[in-house]
Amino acid sequence: MGLATAFVMTVAVLTGISLTPSLEAPPAEAASGADFNPGLIITDELFYNGTLMSESAIQSFLEGRVPACTAPAGAPGCLKNYVTSSSPRAADRYCAAYAGGTNQRASNVIAQVAQACNISPQVLLVTLQKERGLITKTNPISGDYLVSMGYACPDTAACDTKYYGFANQVYSAARQFNIYKQLPTSFSYRAGQANTIQWHPNAACGSSSVYIYNAATAGLYNYTPYRPNQAALNNIGGTGDDCSSYGNRNFFAYYSDWFGSPNQGNLQSPSFEGGSIYGWGASNGAINTMIAPGAPGTVPDGSYFLALNTPVSGRALSQDIKRTISPGQQATAKIWVRSDSTTPFTGTVAVWGIGGSLEQANTPFTVRDQWTEITVKLPVASAHSTIRLDIYLYSTNATLWVDNASITVGQAPTKQNLLKYPGFEGSFNDWAPGNGFMNRALYQDVRFVKEGTWFAASNTAVPGRSFSQTVPVQGYAGDQYTFSIWLRSSDPSKPFSGIVALWALGSQNANTTANYTVQGEYTKVTVTLDSPIAFSALKAEVYLNTTDATLFLDDSRVSKNLLSAPSFEGGALNNWGTGNGAVAPAVATATAASPAVHGSYYATVTSQTPNGSFAQVVERDTTAGEKYIATVWVKSPTGSTPGTFALWALGGTTEALTVPFTATGAWQQLTLELPIAQQSHNAVKVELYFQNAGTTLLIDGAQLL
C-alpha cells in the first residue's frame, strides 16, 4: 500500500530522541543483588549463542583468571593448562556434530561444544566456576574434572559415573540445556508461566512463585532448582542464612563480574510481539509507526511487525542499549525489512558505539515486497558504554516494514590481514627500518604496482639492512601465522636477493625465514611460523642483501591460520571430519621414505563412497570485501587419485570456489582464493572431495587465511 493509504488506523507518533552522545563511559560495576531478577536471570540472546568467544579468546580468559598455577607434579593442573582427549559425537536434534580430538586444551573443548550445541562459551565458563570453581582454582583435584559441570550430580544422590570426565561433562551439560529448551513440558520449570520454586533443598525453608520469562532462565532452574533468598542476595559475594541457596545467584554474580549484566543491555521489543514498541524511539524528528499483526510464517519472527514511514527523508527508528563493549569485541546487528509494496524503499541500518571515541558502521539497503535480512558489523577499537541501533528512512513515498531485530556482542573475528597499509597506499604508516637505515620511497606508477595504485621501493648500501612492521598480537604456543609479500627488482637485468622473516616477539623470540631472489617480475615470497612460544607481537621483515639495485615491494599480508590441526601434528585431527558421503581418516608419522611437507605428521584419508569428502568448518563472521585463501598439499600413495578442492562460505547465500586435481606420487599444493561478496556468512569450509570410492589421499600443510 502507498503512503497515502498506509495508516488509516490510529497512528502512534514516537517522541524524538537526541543523537548527541555522552562521551564518558561509566565505570565497571561488580554484581549487585539488587539487579538479580529471579524471572530473567539471563537473556536467551546471550545464553543460546555459541559464537560469543573464539577458542583463543577463551584461552586468553583462562590465562587471565589464573596467572600462576600451584599444582604439584602429578596433579591435573589448573584449567588453563589442562589437556584431555574426547571422542567425536554425531549430530542429533540438540547439537550439531562434535569433532573431539586428542591433546585438546580445555579452551578447545569449550569452543567446540559451544559451537556444536550453540550454548554460549561464557555460560559454560560460568557454570564451570559455579559448580567446582575450576576457572580460578590454582590447584584443582582430579575430582573437579570428573564432575566439572555438576552434570548428573543431584543434591540427593551420588553423581552418575556415566558422565564423568571434563569433555563429557561440558558436552552433556550444554546438550541438556537444549533439551530443556526443546522439550519444555517434560520438565518442572517452564517459561511463560508462574512456577513454584524452593528457596533451598530443605523443603522446610519454603518456596515462592516466580514468573519465568524465557527459556534460558527456565533451563537454569531445571539445572539448579533453587532460588536465592534475600539473605543470599544481600551478601552476594558471601553467605546468607540457613535457607540460602547459591547456585543461580553465583551464576548471575560470576557472569556479571566477568562479562557484564546477563539480563540487561539487550534490545527491547525486538520483534514487537504483543504489540509492544517499548524501547524504540525516533531520531532526527518524528516518524509514523504502527504495530501490525502478521500471520505466523508470513513474518520473520512471531506474529507482529512494525510499519513505519516518514514525511522527511533522513529520520530514523532508534534504540539505545546500555551495554559495555570493549576493544577487540564486535557488535553485530541484524534486522529484517521490506517495503509494503513493489515500490522500493531505501534506507540504512547503522550501529554506533557511544561513550569514548564515537565509532559507527552501516549497511545501506533498497528493498521491495520481499523480507530481506540486513546485517551490520561494528568491530570496536575503544570502549563504549552504549550501543545504538538506527534504521534511517530515506524514502518518503512508501512504507517500511521491520521485524526480528537483534544485537549480539562477541569477540571480533581475527583480522584477515594484521598489517597496516599492506599495499603502501599513500603511506608507510608503521613500516620502518628494522635493522639499520636504508633508503625507501613511495611511488604511484601503474607499470610497477601489483595491487592498488602505490608501491614501495627500497635500496641499501649495506647488506642485511631491513624493512619491517611490528604488530601487537596476543599469541600462544602452537599458533600458526603466515607472512607473504610480492617483490621484484627494479632492473630486470639485476636480480635482487635477500631474506623474508616472520618473528614472534615476547619474553623469548622465535622466527622463520625464507631466502628470495627476484628479477623483473613480481614474485610472491611466503614464510609460515609455527610459534613454539607465547608472544605479544609479530614482526614482518624483509632483509635486503643486494646493494646495486632497488627492490620494489607491494601487497603484503600477515594472517593467522584459522584451521585446527592444519598439519595433523601429534596425531591430531581436531575439527577435521567427513563432509560428504563416508571417508576414513587417520594420521601417519612421517618417515625418510615418506616425508611430510610440514612437521612430522600427515593425514591419510580413504574415501568409502564416490564423492566422499574430508572437511573442516571454521565458524567465521565474514564481511563483504574480504578474501579467503585456502591451501593444502596432497599426494597419492598409488600414483593417481582424482578429486576436487573446494572452499565454501556458508550461511546466508552460499559462495564457493572449486578446482579439480589429480594427486600424484609427489606432493603438490592446491590453492583457492574466494572473494566474499555477500554479508551474512557465519562459517568457512575447506573440503577435499574424492572422485572415486576406495581411493586414498595423503594430506598435509593445510591453511585457511
What are the pLDDT digits (tens) for 185-201? 999 999 888 899 999 99
Closest CA to 642 of 600, 693, 573: 693
Common-topology check for domains 3-24+265-411 and 569-704: yes
pLDDT of residue 10: 26
CB-based contact 330:409 (threshold 8 Å): yes
Burial 274-289 (b: 16+ CB within 10 A, else e): eeebeebbbbbeebbb
Tell me if 165 sits within 8 A of 183, measured CB to CB. no
Dihedral pair phi/psi, residue 76, rounded to 5°: -65, -20
Measured CA to CA, the distance from residue 653 to residue 648 in angstroms comes to 11
pLDDT at position 126, please?
A: 97
Calculate the CA 46 to chain-centre distance: 14
Domain 3-24+265-411: top CATH class? mainly beta
Q: Give 591's contacts (C-beta < 8 A, 6+ positions apart).
A: none
Q: Are 227 and 206 in contact (CB under 8 A)?
A: no
d(CA 206, CA 203): 6
**Taking the CB of residue 208, how many other CB atoms lie within 10 A of it?**
12
CB atoms within 10 A of CB 660: 11
Q: Which run of H or E residues covers position 231?
A: helix 230-234
- CA dist 189 and 337 (Å) reads 35
Using CA atoms, how far residue 271 sits from 275, 302, 404, in Å, is 9, 7, 4
Q: Which residues face 512 on adjacent strands?
A: 502
**Residue tagged 552434570 (cell numbers):** 151
569-704, superfamily in CATH?
A: Galactose-binding domain-like (2.60.120.260)
* Domain residue spans of the chain: 3-24+265-411, 38-258, 432-560, 569-704
What angle do helix axes 106-117 and 121-132 make, rounded to 10 degrees?
A: 120
Please state at what angle helix 247-259 crosses helix 215-223, rounded to 10 degrees. Answer: 130
- d(CA 9, CA 503) in angstroms, rounded, equals 67
Give the distance, in angstroms, between the CA of residue 336 and the centroid of all CA atoms in the same chain. 22
Amino acid type, 398: A
Nearest-angstrom CA–CA distance, 636 and 606: 11
Q: Where are the beta strands (DSSP E) in 545-626?
A: 551-560, 576-580, 583-589, 601-607, 613-619
- For the entire predicted model, the pTM comes to 0.55
Work out the end-to-end distance of the chain between its first and last CA atoms, rounded to an integer number of angstroms. 48
Low-confidence ranges of the chain (pLDDT < 50): 1-29
DSSP 250: H
At residue 51, what is the residue type?
T
Furthest C-alpha separation in the chain? 94
Dihedral angle sign, alpha carbons of residues 446, 451, 457, 462: negative
455-459 and 465-475 strand pairing = unpaired
For 172-221, the DSSP string reads HHHHHHHHHHH-GGGSS--TTEEEEEESSSSGGG-EEEEEE-SHHHHHHH
Hey, what CATH class is 432-560 in? mainly beta
The rounded distance, in Å, linking the Cα atoms of 575 and 564 is 6
CA-CA distance, 362 to 381, in Å (whole number)?
16
Planar angle of CA 656, 662, 666, nearest 5 degrees: 120
CB 119 within 8 A of CB 177: yes
CA 624 from centroid of its chain's CA atoms: 16
pLDDT at 25 (0 to 100): 25
CA angle, corner 569, sides to 109 and 66, nearest 5?
40
> Which grid coordinates belong to 616?
573442516
Residue 375's closest CA among 366, 365, 387, 385?
A: 365
Helices 166-182, 106-117: axis angle to 10 degrees equals 20
- Alpha-carbon distance of 128 to 148, in angstroms, equals 6
- Strands 613-619 and 576-580 come out as antiparallel
pLDDT digits (tens, 9 = 90+) for 246-287: 999 999 999 988 877 787 667 767 787 667 676 788 999 999
Residue 129 host element (H or E): helix 121-132
Nearest to 124 by CA among 185, 206, 52: 52
CA distances in angstroms from 55 to 65, 107, 345, 548, listed in the order given: 16, 6, 41, 48
